[in-house]
Chain A
Amino acid sequence: MKLDMRVDPKSGMKPLIQLRFAARASAAAPLRAVLTLVALGIGVAAVIVLTALGEGARRFVNAEFASLGTNLVIVLPGATETTGGPPPLFGTAPRDLTLDDAAAVARHPAVRRMAPVVAGAATVSFGARERDTLVLGTTAEFQHVHHVTMGTGRFLPPGDLQRGDPVAVVGAKVRQELFGNTNPVGQWLRIGDRRFRVIGVTSPTGRSLGDNMDEMVVVPVTQAQALFGVSSLFRMLIEARGREGVPDAKAAALSIIAARHEGEADVTVITQDAVLATFDRVFTALTFTVAGIATISLLVAGILVMNVMLVAVTQRTPEVGLLKALGATARGVRSLFLWEATLLSLMGAACGLAVGYASVAGIASVWPTFPVAVPAWAAVAAVVVAVCAGLLFGVWPASRAARLDPVASLERR
């Protein structure tokens, strides 16, 4: 009989058998298992729910902006100070934006539509009812640039920029407050000391970001200028030819204004894209931050897994001694305990996923307008971090088990 001392790397416990052994070991200590599952589950669920809320906020803002139009270019009078260099000492007062400037920009081929805007607060009254509201002076183009939908009647009629009849379009809320059940179309409305005939009512938007049309009254731009006693514009809204046309439209606006303002482009051009991108970055950063914070709870759970596994090693010390006496190697013992940690982590992650997704579904049903959504990366990251934490924090207890002296372990009672 030859003493067989060869070590066949392929022999040794099969992974599936190790897994089964580990599963039964965890099942035999339900309290330990449940503790781990809860801790890891909470961590994973926290990551899922918090990132879903962050992603929801991002999508919400995105959708709000998209409804305002993503190929929008806004021109404001006055250059921003962000271009660098000290502000000029002389001639600091920016030139006004005028209707002529607006008309010149509107003629550029990169500009599909242009709506000049004059805005101010005024008292609006119908009969005995009155309220202070925002009055917007613009043109027919505004309807398309700003995606205004009409409830009844029609928007401002197209026509000469410099001429405008005394007509007004009222927002849904203004209509309700001033007219009640009376059909406002055809009625005469008083704004300040001027009279306007109502030609339409915009449909309620319920929009919370950007300008809320519900609480506005829209009149032709020249009428608003006369009303407020100004000859300048509050801003210019430009619709570029598609999203790709935005840089061209922006460059066109800057060069035309510069040409008309003695070589100085004393305006600020804001693109919706840039604003949107900023918000997008802010919310993405927020989501990542929140995910990071939630990940800390996973690491805490990992420490709990470590303690649970240390207790398991202590309780099963005689079993480790037996396994070694039967012929298990240190490495074999270590992988048994690592399997157990992995298994617990996986199950914890699965519980967390289930709870997390269920909570997100709950939020979605309670709050249907909020586009809450679990980002795929967050779900994957939560599971990966949970399992890695379990495995990482399982290494030390498992190695401790592997290093146990078989004789001392067998005699431990």
Chain B
Amino acid sequence: MTAGDSGQGAASGGRAPLIQLTGAERTYMVGHSPVHALAGIDLAVEAGEYLSIMGPSGSGKSTLLHVIGLLDRPDRGAYLLEGRDTGNLSERERAAVRLARIGFVFQSFHLVPRLTAAENVALPLELAGVAPEVSRARALVALASLGMEQRADHRPDQLSGGQRQRTAIARATIMRPSLILADEPTGNLDRGSSLEVMELLEGLNRDGIAVLVVTHDPVIGERAHRLVRVEDGKIAADSTRTPP
């Protein structure tokens, strides 16, 4: 089964998919030998999908996520985001798209250590030039909606792993993106926190945000509606699970 004829793709009719990768390749030179991190990826993801990407370590999952998140460019192939070719976007345009449309969640949280939870959440708003009072108010609302109102003025080192990841999720959603990209979001969390974080991401998905989760934990991965398996930089399997 390929991305092109997946069930979700057919359901959306003539509208362009959120993500459309065709023949995407990304090659690193390690010494004199090329490493094909992505070796021809064809993938289409519709708006609002909930998709997990699994595969062995080094199979290219993170690279795929970085390409989709416009942090990296494919050497070959095309990447259309919301129907627009991203190949000819300038650095500033790519930054603007990341700011407005894409939210990242990382395994290691990537919170700025000297800033409070609320300030970390407000960062994208500040990058967008939103007035500081508005930024703070919106950050507080976002944190409260994740049950973090008591922790808004705590610094990351005063937060538990689960609280840190919730802060990162609040930050990823503060700009109301159409796409959340999470690379091993539960990799540094215990089982309980992992489930909480996944439930938060699934809640965002129910609100219409497409969620792509990279994981090597099958319990986490199999919660998604669509399971993509990557091996050696290629899509080895792509299956849709009927939501319960």
Contacts and interface: CB of A to CB of B under 8 A. Distances in A.
Interface of A: 1-7, 10-14, 17, 21, 24-25, 27-28, 318-319, 321-332, 406-407, 410, 413
B97 A12 contact: no
17 contacts: A1-B178, A3-B83, A3-B84, A3-B97, A4-B96, A5-B93, A7-B92, A13-B126, A24-B114, A322-B110, A323-B123, A325-B110, A327-B95, A327-B100, A332-B127, A407-B66, A410-B110
Contact of A24 (B82, B92, B115, B175): B115
A304 B82 CA distance: 48
Interface string B69-100: 10110000000011110000101110111111
B73 to A, nearest CB: 10
B128 interface: yes
A207 B89 CA distance: 78
Contacts of B104: 325-326
Interface of B: 47, 66, 69, 71-72, 81-84, 89, 91-93, 95-101, 104, 106, 108, 110, 112-115, 123-124, 126-129, 131-132, 171, 175, 178
Contact of B128 (A2, A5, A11): A11
A181 to B, nearest CB: 78
A319 B112 contact: yes
Given A5-B97, A324-B95, 9 more contacts: A4-B96, A4-B97, A7-B92, A12-B127, A13-B129, A324-B71, A327-B95, A327-B128, A329-B92
Q: Which of B81, B82, B91, B126 has its CB near the most chain A CB atoms (within 10 A)?
A: B126
Contacts of B123: 323, 326
B142 to A, nearest CB: 14
Given A10-B129, A14-B129, A410-B106, A326 B98 contact: yes
A5 B85 CA distance: 11
Nearest to A325: B104
Contact of A407 (B71, B100, B124): B71
B84 A326 contact: no
Given A1-B82, A325-B98, A325-B104, A7 B66 contact: no
B69 A327 contact: no
Contacts of B96: 4-7, 327, 329
Nearest to A11: B129
A13 B96 CA distance: 12
B146 to A, nearest CB: 18
Contact of B69 (A28, A325, A331): A325
Given A28-B114, A318-B110, A325-B69, A3 B101 contact: yes
Nearest to B83: A3
B126 A17 contact: yes
B81 A3 contact: yes
Nearest to A409: B71
B114 A5 contact: no
Contacts of B113: 28
Given A1-B178, A322-B110, A327 B91 contact: no
B71 A25 contact: no
A327 B112 contact: no
A332 B126 CA distance: 11
